[in-house]
Structure 1
Amino acid sequence: MLYRTIPKTGDKLSILGYGCMRLPEKDGQIDEERATRQLRYAIDHGVNYVDTAWSYHMGESEPFVGRALLDGYREKVRLATKLPSWLVETPEDMDYYLDAQLAKLQTDHIDYYLIHVLNTTEKLAKMEACGLTEFLDSAKKAGKIINAGFSFHGPAEDFAPIVDAYPWEFCQIQYNILDEQNQAGTKGLEYAAGKGLGVIIMEPLRGGNLTDPVPPAVADIWDSSPVQRTPAEWALRWVWNHPEVTVVLSGMNREEHIEENIRTAHEAHPDSLSDAERTIIGVATEKYRELMKVGCTGCQYCMPCPSGVDIPLCFELYNNKYMFKNPDAEMFYVVRLSGVLSNSPEQFASQCVQCMECLEKCPQHIDIPALLEIIVREMEGEGFEERKQMARDMFVK
């Protein structure tokens, strides 16, 4: 297993981290015996960073991780979990959730504690008004948390101000071959690393969608390479090739995937891909983009929408449905756009009033209003209100 160092602390972390959001299930619940065996296997083979959160598996991930890390495994890892920021309304809430998480995880400290979905400067301001700085400083002083960070899924322009708002030790961003320019992107990765933050990467395989299934046109590109690798290995090696990356999280839930990822993590040094290998990855990435329903780059020029529609996110989720044949695409659409994760207003495509302001702003000349109408028909059809209620039940206090 290769390890990289958090610049501010000297902490050496395995480049492969274990994400506990997609654990194996049986009868709708975490398959505890199998999941424990998988997690401990990864730790026994060098993984020393384990990531969970309050909301994962409907609140059952943290208690599971606490049990799975018994028998001496807690001492072998750096444990990460996240404050559910969308549930915070008062300073006391932050203390309540941290103490509850310590109890669930059966530990007296969290090694890497993140403010979950700290996506915008507005959200940051709300958290600061609730005493975020004082909370983090106090929790550190008490030894309840060791390192403070945040996870980010927001617009690129809000990333640097959040990085600069507190002396964070690390941050967590989405980054993969399709997201070089989306969200924090490469610019954000380099900015955070330049400030001395460790950078934890989530969704390196877009939730597994870059590997299962692979569009046939993309599979042909991988097959044409003189160097033969699985799609997962290509995608992970691309992320690890960036020296600014500290840890890449993988939500591993199949034994063969765990074994493959561990093998790759023994070899994936920074700057180790050849020019030819980077070219192959670039061709595959462009083919993915060709397969997208909407040629949106996530540049955000169309934002803000006067009616509150998150236009780039609507397009991203719509593209994902067709590129990756995700059977849960409509549910992801509701969760991401309903505001339940950030305690913010809804941002659905159906809120578009055809004001046409976005048409003048889009550098890709996308017919945004017409496409939003299509998205309404395909993503907000039968069962839409039921999915919204499910999202509220999952995430609203």
Structure 2
Amino acid sequence: MLYRKVPQNDDRLSILGFGCMRLPVRDDNSIDEERAIAQIRSGIDSGINYLDTAWPYHDGNGEVVLGKALKNGYRQKVKIATKLPSWLIKNREDMDFYLARQLEKLQSDHIDYYLLHALNKKSWNSLLSLGVTDFLQQAIADGRIINPGFSFHGLAEDFTMIVDAFPWIFCQIQYNFLDRENQAGLAGLQYAAAKDLAVIIMEPLRGGNLGLAQAPPAIQKLWDSGGGGRTPAEWALRWVWNHPEVTSVLSGMNLEDHITENLRVAETGFANSLRLEELALVDRVAEMYQELMKVGCTGCGYCMPCPEGVKIPSVFEVYNKMHMFGEEQKAKITYALRLSGTITAETPGFASQCVKCGQCEKKCPQRIEIMSTLAEVAEVMEDSGLERRIAVAAKILNGG
């Protein structure tokens, strides 16, 4: 494992951080605790020392499971990062309430790296008016918080304003070879680093889309042309680590093979280690992805829950894969299978269930025009053959 220093405190953080937003789950969507704990501890045993969670992850249970995983001496080996749920804060007292509950869940008397979650201009100004700087200063003074920071999901021009508004130690931004200009972007990464902030990267694989074991044919052909036998995930992670301004990269690992691969790749994640021709190859792949992908969804789930039951991330995932792989009939069957609830015994979550209430668009970090895109998906995926595909899928699952 390689490590990079936090400029203001000299902590050495593993360049691969364990993101706990997508822990393994059972059929009922609850966390598979035994497996998740084993994965987390295996990662720590292999050198990972930065673990990131948040209040809403896994319906509030993510912090609980992480706390259990860090028993038996593991807490002393790592730095925990979790986040104040900014959208739930109505007054100054709420800040202390949520922090106290998070300390209980994590079974710790302090949070090493504490973030204000999903800031943009509006949420930052709201927190300011409610006394968030006083909260941070008091929590730092009494030891509940060690290092203050924030995660960002706003416009680029607002990022520098927030960086300059408080003596932060670190920040967390989305960055990958497709999202170079989105949100904070490269300029934000460089600005934060110039201010001596550690920069934690989220969504390096854009919700897993950039790390598919078998990339879309046109993409795979480009990767193969580069030689070296690297997987798509390795290319994507190495590209982010190539930036010296990056401190650690979060990976939402929930499969043992993914953890093994990411740990292997992290051994070579040196800054400025990619050659010019390798960087040019990534640029060509990025251009191809932009041509193929229809929706810039990372699957983060901030848009959920939908009051009408639309499974927005799943809808967009299936739609994107149809365009990336060019397999329309296969995608339509998958859509019928997953969104009808046939597999999960849940209520349907079709795109056509959208009533355009707009709640999802207000919460989307990617600023996707969700309502109009759902209408587009419904027109393509919910044609006259939908009911037949649902029936066929149900028959197959029932052994018919």
**Short-chain TM bin:** 0.7 to 0.9
2:157 is the counterpart of 1:157: yes
Deviation at 1:210, TM superposition (A): 1.1
SS of the equivalent of 2:146 reads strand
| Residues 294-342 of structure 1, C-alpha deviations (whole Å, 9 max, x = no match) | 8x9xxxxxxxxxxxxxxxxxxx999866434597898999899625986
Deviation at 1:280, TM superposition (A): 1.3
1:149-228 matched pairs, under 5 angstroms = 149-212=149-212, 214-228=215-229
Letter paired with 2:320: M
| Residues 163-201 of structure 1, C-alpha deviations (whole Å, 9 max, x = no match) | 111111000000001000111100000001011100000
- 1:274 maps to what in 2? 275
Letter paired with 1:85: S
1:21-32 matched pairs, under 5 angstroms = 21-27=21-27, 28-32=29-33
- 1:126 maps to what in 2? 126
| Residues 11-58 of structure 1, C-alpha deviations (whole Å, 9 max, x = no match) | 110000000010111122111111111110110010000000000011
User: Against the structure 1 CA distance between its residues 177 and 337, is the aligned structure 2 distance closer, same or farther, given a 3 Å change threshold?
Assistant: farther
Deviation at 1:2, TM superposition (A): 0.4
- 1:33 maps to what in 2? 34
Deviation at 1:376, TM superposition (A): 2.9
Deviation at 1:226, TM superposition (A): 2.1
Deviation at 1:380, TM superposition (A): 10
8 Å contact 2:80–2:113 — kept in the other structure?
yes
2:53 is the counterpart of 1:71: no
User: Against the structure 1 CA distance between its residues 42 and 220, is the aligned structure 2 distance closer, same or farther, given a 3 Å change threshold?
Assistant: same
2:239 is the counterpart of 1:238: yes
- 2:375 maps to what in 1? 376
8 Å contact 1:176–1:205 — kept in the other structure?
yes
- 2:230 maps to what in 1? 229
- 1:14 maps to what in 2? 14
Letter paired with 2:234: E
Letter paired with 2:79: R
8 Å contact 2:319–2:377 — kept in the other structure?
no
Structure 2 unaligned segments of length 5 or more: list them.
297-312, 323-330, 340-348, 383-400
CA-atom RMSD in angstroms: 3.1
SS of the equivalent of 2:48 reads coil
| Residues 200-259 of structure 1, C-alpha deviations (whole Å, 9 max, x = no match) | 000000111112262211011111112220000000000000000000000011111111
User: Against the structure 1 CA distance between its residues 137 and 215, is the aligned structure 2 distance closer, same or farther, given a 3 Å change threshold?
Assistant: same
Report % sequence identity.
54
Letter paired with 2:260: E
8 Å contact 2:201–2:248 — kept in the other structure?
yes
The 2-side partners of 1:38 and 1:260 are apart by 13
- 1:54 maps to what in 2? 55
8 Å contact 2:360–2:370 — kept in the other structure?
no
8 Å contact 1:214–1:324 — kept in the other structure?
no
With normalisation by structure 1, the TM-score equals 0.79
Structure 1 unaligned segments of length 5 or more: list them.
297-315, 351-371, 384-397
2:141 is the counterpart of 1:148: no
Deviation at 1:267, TM superposition (A): 1.1
The 2-side partners of 1:331 and 1:113 are apart by 37
Deviation at 1:292, TM superposition (A): 3.2
If asked which structure has higher relative contact order (CA below 8 Å, sep 6+), I would say: 1
The 1-side partners of 2:274 and 2:25 are apart by 36
- 1:251 maps to what in 2? 252
- 2:325 maps to what in 1? none
User: Against the structure 1 CA distance between its residues 381 and 83, is the aligned structure 2 distance closer, same or farther, given a 3 Å change threshold?
Assistant: farther
The 1-side partners of 2:197 and 2:350 are apart by 33
SS of the equivalent of 1:210 reads helix
1:41-120 matched pairs, under 5 angstroms = 41-119=42-120
8 Å contact 2:87–2:123 — kept in the other structure?
no
Number of residues paired by the alignment? 339
User: Against the structure 1 CA distance between its residues 284 and 318, is the aligned structure 2 distance closer, same or farther, given a 3 Å change threshold?
Assistant: farther
- 1:307 maps to what in 2? none
- 1:323 maps to what in 2? 320
